[in-house]
Structure 1
Amino acid sequence: MKKTMMMLLLALVSLGAYAQHEHGNMAGHDEGMQMAPEFKDKELGTAYGHYLEVKEALVASDDGKATDHSAMLEKALAKVENADAARETAAKMANATSLKGQRQNFDALSNEMAKLVKNGKLVKGELYLEYCPMANSNQGGYWLSNEKEIKNPYLGEKMLTCGSVKETIK
C-alpha cells in the first residue's frame, strides 16, 4: 500500500511539473499570434472569414470542404457591395468537380477578394497578400492570409511553404 501511494504521489508531482512546463512554453506564443482583422463592413468581414475557410480547405487538399465553404462564401458575398465578380468565382469553385478545378479558380477569387479587402477599410488588425511563383503551372498565384507563415493553398502538402508575403494590408 505504501509503495502504491508513493507511486501515485510521484505521478501527481510529475504531472504538475509537466503542466507547469507546458504553461511556461505557452507564455510567449500570444506575442507571435496575429490578431484577426476586423473590417468596417461586417458583411465583408463575414465573407473574408469564409474565404479563409476555403483557403484552409485547399491547404488541406480537402475538396469537399472547399466546395462547402465556397458555397457559403458565395452566399456571404451576395451581401457585400461590389462583390459580383468574387461571388461568381466562388460559385465556380463550389461547382468545380475536382480539387484541381477549385485551385484554378482560387487565383481569380483571391484577386477579387484582395480588391475587396483593400477597399474594405480595416479597423483592426492586418492581413497579408501572399504569392507562390509555382502555382497554376508556374504562372503564379496569390492568396490572402491572417498570418505571415506560408501555407500554400495551390500546392498543399507537396510544397506547403512555397511562397512569400508580397504585401501587408493594414
Structure 2
Amino acid sequence: MRKVLPVVIILIVAFGVYYFFAKNKDGEAIVAAKEGPLKATKHSLEFNSSVDTMMSAYFSLHDAFVEADTIRVKQTCNTLAGATEKVNIDELKKDTSGIYPSALEQLNQVKESIKSICVQKDLATMRKDFQWLSESLYPLLKTIHYEGKKLYWQNCPMAFGDNQEASWISNTEEIANPYLGKKHPEFKATMLHCGEVKDSIMAQ
C-alpha cells in the first residue's frame, strides 16, 4: 500500500499540471481570437447598401445591352435612375480627406448619363451613353473607396469600330461585351467576349 501511494500522488500531480497548461493554452487561444483585428467599414451600412443596389441595377443594364434588348434597357435604366437617387452622397461631407466635392460631381455626371440613356430610342446611341455612364461611375467608386465585392474595369479596343475603344464595369472577370453583345448586325455573337480586364477595385 505504501508503494502504491507515491505512484497515485505522482499521477494526480501530473494530471493537475496537464490540466492547468491545457486550460491555459485554450484560454490564450480564446483571448487571441477575441482580440483579433476586426474589419471596419468607413461608411454606414445604409450608404453601402444603397451603393450595392445602384451597382446591381447597373449590372442589369449591362446585361440588357449584351442582349441588345431595347425595352429591357429602358426598364433597367429607370431602375438605375431610382437607385442612384437613393445614394446619400451627403454622408461623405464628414469625411476628413475631402472627397465630397469630387464624389458629388461624379455622381451628378452618372445621373446625367442615366437620364440620357432613358430618353434615347436608338440602341447605338444608348450604348454611347452607357460608355459615359461607366466612365463616370468607375472613378466615383474609386473616390468613395467602394466597400463592396471586387469589381473589374474591362475594355474593348473596338467597341464602336476600329480604334474606338470603350470600357465598362463588371462583377466577374469573364468578358461579356455590352457594346458588341450577342446580336451585332455584322459580327452577331462572335465578338461577345472581345475585351480584357484593365483594372479592379475592392474594399481595402
Aligned ranges 1:10-159 → 2 under 5 Å: 41-80=48-87, 81=89, 82=104, 83-137=107-161, 138-157=163-182, 158=188, 159=191
Q: Which residue in the other structure is 2:99 paired with?
A: none
Question: 1:142 & 1:104 partners in 2: Cα distance?
Answer: 11
Task: Report the identity percentage.
Answer: 32
Task: Indicate if the aligned counterparts of 1:129 and 1:165 stay in contact, CA closer than 8 A.
Answer: yes
Q: Determine which structure has the larger strand proportion and give its number.
A: 1
Q: For the structure 1 residues 124 and 77, does the alpha-carbon distance in structure 2 shift closer, same or farther, using more than 3 Å as the test?
A: closer
Question: 1:120 & 1:127 partners in 2: Cα distance?
Answer: 14
Give the aligned length.
Answer: 133
- For residue 58 of structure 1, report the CA deviation from its aligned partner: 0.2
Question: 1:91 & 1:50 partners in 2: Cα distance?
Answer: 14
TM value normalised by structure 1: 0.73
Question: 1:73 & 1:60 partners in 2: Cα distance?
Answer: 18
TM value normalised by structure 2: 0.61
| 2:147 counterpart SS class | strand
Flag structure 2 segments of 5+ consecutive residues without an equivalent.
1-44, 90-103, 183-187
Q: Which residue in the other structure is 1:161 paired with?
A: 193
Question: 2:200 & 2:128 partners in 1: Cα distance?
Answer: 24
Flag structure 1 segments of 5+ consecutive residues without an equivalent.
1-37
Q: Deviations over 1:27-52 (max 9, x none)?
A: xxxxxxxxxxx996221111111110
Letter matched to residue 111 of structure 2: R
Question: 2:147 & 2:166 partners in 1: Cα distance?
Answer: 27
- Report the structure number with the largest CA radius of gyration: 2
Shift >4 Å, 4+ stretches: none
- For residue 124 of structure 1, report the CA deviation from its aligned partner: 4.4
